[in-house]
Each structure stands twice: as structure tokens, then as C-alpha cells.
Amino acid sequence: MAVGSQDGLRSSTWRAWGDEKKGDVYISRRGTGGIIKVSIHRDGNCQIGFTQEYENIAKERFPDFESRHWKKWKIPDEPLVRVLQIVVPNSELRAFPSKEEKQTTWIPSPPQDSVSVVTIFIKKPNAEDEVWPGAAEGIKPLGVIPSENRIAWAVYSDNPIDDNLREFIARHRLMVANRPKAASAPRGPETRMVIWGARDEHCLFLVEYAWDPP
């Protein structure tokens, strides 16, 4: 899934997949899928960080390496839980070429001064609810990842951007620009960054932004 259009302004491509037997769900951004991912496990334990395959490389590359897991959290055993949000501001969309997989789902660009929000919900199969989470509020479906013990729903909506998010992105963009070797790092519209934070104790959010300011 990606925000925008293949031949216009766009975001990175994100992938969500799962293990039908175990009920585990994974989310990653294309280009870093073998390096970084979000894991939502059947037992409710969740984490974001480096993949197991990249762990040894990360230890050599990052002097302050402590753990491949940047954050761990646990979702409650409830019928429906919001567990992850991917936030893409309209101001951070850029035009760049990319070889997309045929099954990529394109999400319409949000209006100016707005963000596109993709939300991952975990739902018990027998939970009484709407056709999809948020349907009554106009939230649109993207897809579902079924398993034997639960269902992961991906839905999306557009929301106005607020000053706190603008400041959050500006602060992190400046922090990255001031890092050692940042001046010599490759730059271009296809260079994307992701920052994360906690929406609440059960839900993490990821904000995608462009390396170059708008």
C-alpha cells in the first residue's frame, strides 16, 4: 500500500502480511523490509526494531546499539484493539520512480494541510462489530489479514494536520540533518524517513516524511 499515485506525488510503499497459522502480523516499509519491521504477535506482545537477520550488522554499524528492539508493548485481550497507525502528511509526498508490485493498493492523497492515516486493528473473529472498524465514521477499508485465531484489519482516513505534528516532523528533520555524515548522505525525493511514537499504551504511530523539506 502507498499514498498518492505511481506517476505523481506519493509516499513509500508499505507492506503488511501475516502467518495464517500463528496469527502473527508484520508491517514494514519497502526498502527497509529486511532491516526494520513491526511485529504484532499472537500472544499480544508487539515490537518495532531491527529484524533478526540484520541484528549482527546493526551491532557493527551503530556504536550505541543496545537491543534490536526499539520498543516493546502489549495489546490487551479485547474484541477489537487499535495497534498501529502509519501517518503520511500531504506536505511530505514527493514524485519519484519506483518499481511497484502489481498488488500495491494506492490510497488517494489527503487534502492540503491534512494527513493520510492507515490504522491496523486486531479483531477477534467472533467480535460483534461493523463490517470493518470505523465504517460508521466514514473510515475506508484497505484489506484484511485473516488467521485461525484473529483478524487484522487495515483501514484509512484523512485528518487535518495539527501544529504538534508539524513541530514533531520539523524537530526530527533537523535532528537527522545535524547527525555526523548527514551532509554526505544521498538525498532526493525518494529518500524517506520514518519516526515513531506512542499514541497510547497499546498503539504505536509511524510518521513518514521526506528528507528534503517542503
Do residues 150 and 23 make contact, with C-beta atoms less than 8 angstroms apart?
Answer: yes
**pLDDT tens per residue across span 132-190:** 899 989 999 999 998 888 899 999 999 999 999 999 999 988 888 887 777 777 777 78
CA distance 131 to 136: 9
CA angle 76, 145, 30 (to 5 degrees): 100
**pLDDT tens per residue across span 23-51:** 899 999 887 768 889 999 999 999 998 88
Place of cell 520514518: 194
Q: Say yes or no to pLDDT of 92 above 90.
A: yes
**pLDDT tens per residue across span 42-83:** 999 999 988 888 888 878 877 777 788 889 999 999 999 999
The whole-number pLDDT of residue 61 equals 77
Which residues make Cβ contacts (< 8 Å) with residue 58, sequence separation at least 6? 50, 65, 68
Instruction: Give how many domains the chain has, as a whole number.
Output: 1
Q: Say yes or no to pLDDT of 99 above 90.
A: no
CA distance 182 to 196: 20
Find, among 70, 46, 41, the residue nearest to 58 by Cα. 70
Domain that holds residue 67: 2-210
